[in-house]
Amino acid sequence: MFEGFEERRIDLGAVTLRVRTGGAGPPVVLLHGHPRTHTTWHRVAPLLVAAGHTVVCPDLRGYGQSDKPPTTPDHAAYSKRAMAGDIVVLMRQLGHDRFAVVGHDRGSYVAYRLALDAPEAVTRLAVLDSVPIGEALARADAKFAAAWWHWFFFAQPEKPERAILADPDAWYGGDPDRMGAANHADYRAAIHDPATVRAMLADYRAGLGPDRAADDSDRAADRQIECPTLVLWSTRDDMEDLYGDVLAVWRPWAPDLRGGPIESGHHMAEDAPEQLAATLADFLAPLPR
């Protein structure tokens, strides 16, 4: 897994992140979702290296083997703004002042927050299987609550930790044949770590607090993503069922917008890596060398 990549721990001051890097050329950082670690990209990252990119895959703060700082009453320590700040510092330490960012699931919220908060740093943005948190909550109805009930359950104190940690494998599932054995082992170690589970829940709790507030503030100020933006969603997920025209939800946020569906389940980096990597490489190709 990740042949030719280097794995290391990088101290950013506020947190230390586990990071895997490889390749040469225009940099792109890949941000995983919940409850995965950076190893979810193990089939995609080498294809992007082959396409001519430096690829950086971190475990987000709170996830995998990265640091899990104490949370706060408002969970701002796990806000997407805090996580996005980590990535800016990480990439600068690696020598990249400007870079593309790709995020899936919870990582997509970090990715677009990064593009909004640090437009000078982000050359391209790709978000997979998401709409902005503020948009999702503004549209929340009975259908959303039935499909995405976990957002609200995870916000409750103590009960989700007890439910998940009672049997993490039953809660999260995961097929090693489908995921890849090494990726599955890394993910399974994470979900069996109580500190990781608590930190992942803090991420969700931040979503209903500081993350929503940041999105609502940006919309009120008509702040938009300045770089070219790609939105992709899985055909066997529920983006179209919930939102119909997914791009229409994103258009007020990102005027330079393109995208469409990928034939895949939710974890498209594992289910459809070749199609995903080819689509990303095509989107990233205009990056200056």
- 227 φ/ψ angles, rounded to the nearest 5 degrees: -95, 165
- 18 φ/ψ angles, rounded to the nearest 5 degrees: -80, 130
Evaluate if residue 289 carries a pLDDT over 60: no
CATH number of the structural domain 6-284: 3.40.50.1820
Q: Are 33 and 104 in contact (CB under 8 A)?
A: yes
Mean pLDDT of 218-238: 97
Element (H, E) at 124: strand 122-128
Match 């290391």 to its residue by tokens: 8
Does the annotation count 104 as an active-site position? no
Produce one character per residue of 176-190: b if its CB has 16 or more CB atoms within 10 Å, e if not: eeebbeebbebbbeb
Neighbours of 152 (CB within 10 A): 13
Q: What is the pLDDT of residue 146?
A: 95
Does the annotation count 266 as an active-site position? yes
Classified as helix, coil or strand, 11 is strand
Mean pLDDT, rounded, of the chain:
97
Give me 269's structure tokens. Answer: 């980096």
Instruction: pLDDT band for 288, please (50, 70, 90 cuts).
Output: very low
Instruction: pLDDT band for 286, please (50, 70, 90 cuts).
Output: low
**Exactly one of 184, 193, 216, 266 is catalytic; which is it?**
266
**Exactly one of 59, 86, 105, 215 is catalytic; which is it?**
105
Give percent of the chain with pLDDT exceeding 90.
99
Evaluate if residue 225 carries a pLDDT over 50: yes
